[in-house]
Amino acid sequence: MAGSTHIAAQRGERILSLRGVSKKFGAVSALTEIDLDVHAGEVVALVGDNGAGKSTLVKVLAGVHQPTSGTVEFMGRQVTMDSPAAALNMGIATVFQDLALCENLDVVANLFLGHELSPWRLDEVQMEVRAWTLLKELAARIPSVREPIASLSGGQRQTVAIARSLLLDPKIIMLDEPTAALGVAQTAEVLNLIERVRDRGLGVIIISHNMEDVRAVADRIVVLRLGRNNGVFTPETSNQELVAAITGATENAVSRRNERRDAEARGETA
């Protein structure tokens, strides 16, 4: 379980490697021949338009969906993840967009939900100590761990959700739109938190529509388009280049509009 001295994997070591992963839903190919690598101590951003396959890819990695073809290697071994629990036990933790916290329970109860210490005589003291220690390590600002989740702000809830995924000592943590519903200050807090998670030697996969956030925290930016790899970029890449990769450089709504207007203009002159 989580501890400050624990190091998940050698920094830079490849934790997760996808080769030629495809996922078909009937006639629809949601993912086609996806390759993806995640190393320890690295933040990989997955970006792409709606329908690019980001969520499907996350669900494949979280064990919710099984790939139609392709191989997944985890810590150097080829693996199959046939259930969310299997992925979790292997060391892939997911923080879903809707966080999935129980608002009626306090922070400690939520952190340890389903993995309470001593099931027949809950060890509240030990759980509270572990909760505080973990939150301190993440430099998270939670006023009290004995308040129900309902009294926390959006950023604090995101923090609790991330802390909970760390409690099972994963190798990789996946965050689906972690800053989508947050204000400026809370977004900064969560980005700081992601960096601290990375510094603990975990691999982080973050999905976001917000280019600014992605650029601020990611080491590599993987662009998906229509279910295919469409390039890997660095945070230094210009916005235009990224947007071009996301929307398709030559074929997008903007270019189509221009083409149509050109064609209309030609039609009038003809």
Partner 1 sequence: MTQSPNPMLDRSDTRVRHDDSLMGAAREFLDRVKSGDLGMLPVAVGLVVISVVFSALNPVFLAPNNLVNMLFDCATVGVISLGIVCVLLLGEIDLSVGSMSGFASAMVGVLWVNMGLPVGLAILAALVAGALVGSIYALLFNKLGMPSFISTLSGLLAILGMQLYILGPTGSINLPFASALVGFGQLWIIPKWLSHLLALLPGAVLVWTGLSVMRRRRAANLSAQPLGRLVLKAAVLTAALEFAVWYLNLGRGVPLMFGLFIALVVALNYALTRTQWGRSMFAVGGNREAARRSGINVKRIYLSAFMLCSSLAALGGMLSAARLASSSQQAGTGDVNLNAIAAAVIGGTSLFGGRGSAWSALLGIIVIQAISNGLTLLNLSSSLRYMITGGVLATAVIVDSLARRSRVSHGRA
Compose the 146-185 pattern: x for residues touching partner 1 by CB under 8 A, - for all others: x-xxxxx-----------x---------------------
Check: CB of residue 163 under 8 Å from CB of residue 138: yes
Give min distance, CB of 94 to partner 1, in A: 9
Among 1, 7, 102, 185, binds partner 1 (CB under 8 A): 102
User: Whole-number minimum distance, CB 237 to partner 1, in Å?
Assistant: 35
Six-digit token string for 19: 């080769």
Size of the site for partner 1 (CB under 8 A): 41
Q: Which of 45, 109, 217, 221 binds partner 1 (CB under 8 A)?
A: 109
| Binding residue (CB under 8 A) for partner 1 from 45, 46, 142, 202 | 142
Q: Which residue has the tokens 């926390």?
A: 152
* Residue 205 in tokens: 């996969």
CB of residue 165 to partner 1, shortest distance in Å: 10
Q: How far apart are CA 133 and CA 214, in angstroms?
A: 28
Pick the binder of partner 1 from 128, 169, 219, 241 (CB under 8 A). Answer: 128
Interface with partner 1, residue 143, by CB under 8 A: yes
Burial 13-41 (b: 16+ CB within 10 A, else e): bbbbbbeebbbeeeeebbbbebebbbbbb
- 183-202 as b/e, with b when 16 or more CB fall inside 10 Å? eeebbebbbebbeebbebbb
Amino acid type, 66: Q
> Residues in the site for partner 1, rule: CB under 8 A?
84-85, 88, 96, 98-105, 109, 113-116, 119-122, 124-126, 128-129, 132-133, 136, 141-146, 148-152, 164
